[in-house]
Chain A
């Protein structure tokens, strides 16, 4: 059960132990080296440490070599681009290259924040993510509790399989599904559902006011199945005796959920929410680009930081603006991870990520 949590707790605890272990070892080698011969110079100690490290490297050279491909990959794919953040502080032109171009300090950021864009993309990204986190979590927990209570195993399994289906498909396909529903001329809404309810046709892809709801529904549709299975696994792991005791004491269903289920799955809820909050400055690019079919009219409600960076780079070729927005996102996002982890660490250090 709660494998999810145990993985993270294990991860964390392990790191802690290892840190202590390594620290302890360093102290003890130094102590051993210094205690018998006070006069022994520090240089010699260092040489000894170096020799023992080399010995360990030689002993585990095969293991170290095994890590090499992934280490090289991360260096190229993840670490090299980090140096590229300097682009945000430069006036890039391709004749001089990245390193030759002029430094312009915070000009790119000034341009970005002078326009209304910075406000709109930040607002959209944050608001959507807050709504998505709250709705997805609440609905997923509610469904997980219900799934766990369903006695008929066949039904329960069928529901589980089917609600996971949307999680599997790409956002491009989601774009097709949404179009089949919302297409102005042929969509299911305009042709079947709205006439049935006696309402006028709606030109979905040109009206901004519906999109906050549409995007939220799509996010719930695609994401809840996954979260639900995670919470279900946590709930299944709860000892049945708690519920038996509560039933004997006369607790009703709602009281049991409130005082047993929710508190016991709190570690999982905290971790999942923490991870989501750490990503609150990042939006699902596909959801905001593919699902509204890259429609210009809808941009005031569908533009987020990620779509802005993409459009500034690919459509406008504006490297300065695009990388400034990208760096803004990366830095604030990073700070948010640290802050949310710190807060959780203060409240209950068992639930923190690191």
Chain B
């Protein structure tokens, strides 16, 4: 392939510009969180702070009850949700990968159809609030919409069907192994790449989810970290755009974290993702490529 120096230079420069475009807001966020609050009021958020300050983080550390509780809730739902979701997903994906399963077509369609059509927000909301009474419970952050995902089932089933030789499973039967034993003794150990990928996807979905909290949670004690961040952001915007109610507004503003702290909180919200990213990147990219079904 013809690769002149000029061409190499130009594609590198274009990619560099796009990469900066992607990363720039993060850099701004982090440096804003380390800027002295008075300086922000005077000159706005800057890429390089004149007065470096960790005051925002110190303040958050000293007033961390809300943050720690929300963090705890997010960690809990991410852990429990990912574990339960993975268990249910593998347990349905494996039988679907076996050709001799009775009702296989029906079950495959049953899973696939959930991707094509849904009842919409209103019936789902009524089901989970009136019928199940999930409002303001931790279950509302784990179960609705997130727990099992049809795309991941199809992804995993395809992996099981294409990557695990039927001969291996058959010989296990001949040796007298039972279904369950074949599943956890042979199939799962051979499927670590797809398990890591799907597990990562579930974990990110749970870590980033704010929608369930937005519709099912009104009690601050059950806020996940995303809901806490969301509330702080939207409250402030609401106060700024309704300055008529100054009396009440000013009082509330005084209680809210100031600018640097707001940014520091957002930083705290993304740090775990950034830390986990390098470890998972190998699987993540692989998952994205198989995961094209996800759309």
Name A residues whose Cβ lies closer than 8 Å to a Cβ of B: 3-5, 7-8, 10-11, 14-15, 18-19, 21-22, 53, 56-57, 60, 62-64, 66-67, 69-71, 73-74, 76-85, 87, 98, 143, 146-147, 149-152, 155, 158-166, 168-173, 175-181, 183, 185-188, 190-192, 205-206, 221, 225-226, 229-230, 233, 240, 243-244, 247, 252-253, 256, 268, 271-272, 275-276, 278-279, 285-286, 290, 293-297, 306, 309-310, 313-314, 319, 322-323, 326-327, 329-330, 333-334, 337, 354
Q: List 18 A-B contacts (CB under 8 A).
A: A4-B290, A4-B292, A11-B293, A56-B100, A63-B94, A66-B94, A70-B148, A83-B119, A146-B15, A160-B285, A165-B277, A172-B226, A176-B233, A181-B28, A278-B295, A290-B230, A295-B237, A310-B121
> Which of A64, A158, A268, A327 contacts B95 (CB under 8 A)?
A64
A150 touches B45 (CB 8 A): no
Query: Which residues of chain B are near A76, meaning CB under 8 Å?
Result: 127
Query: Which residues of chain B are near A7, meaning CB under 8 Å?
Result: 154-155, 158, 290, 292-293
For residue B174, give the distance in angstroms from its CB to the closest CB of chain A.
16
Query: Which residues of chain B are near A160, meaning CB under 8 Å?
Result: 285
> Which of B87, B119, B215, B292 contacts A230 (CB under 8 A)?
B292
Known: A285-B211, A313-B121. A66 touches B183 (CB 8 A): yes
**How many residues of B sit at the interface, in one of the four size bands?**
35 or more
> Which of B102, B180, B288 contacts A226 (CB under 8 A)?
B288
B21 interface hit (Cβ, 8 Å): yes
> Which of A63, A81, A183, A206 contacts B124 (CB under 8 A)?
A81
Complex CA gap A275/B209 in Å reads 22
Complex CA gap A2/B107 in Å reads 27
Known: A77-B143, A85-B120, A192-B44. A313 touches B105 (CB 8 A): no
Query: Which residues of chain A are near B204, meaning CB under 8 Å?
Result: 168
A66 touches B107 (CB 8 A): no
Interface residues of chain B: helix, strand, loop or mixed (majority): helix
Complex CA gap A169/B272 in Å reads 11
> Which of B47, B105, B126, B234 contacts A22 (CB under 8 A)?
B105
B2 touches A330 (CB 8 A): no
A151 touches B3 (CB 8 A): yes
Apart from A70-B148, A82-B119: 11 A-B pairs, beta carbons within 8 A: A18-B99, A18-B105, A74-B114, A162-B23, A164-B284, A169-B270, A171-B210, A178-B25, A187-B45, A230-B289, A323-B120
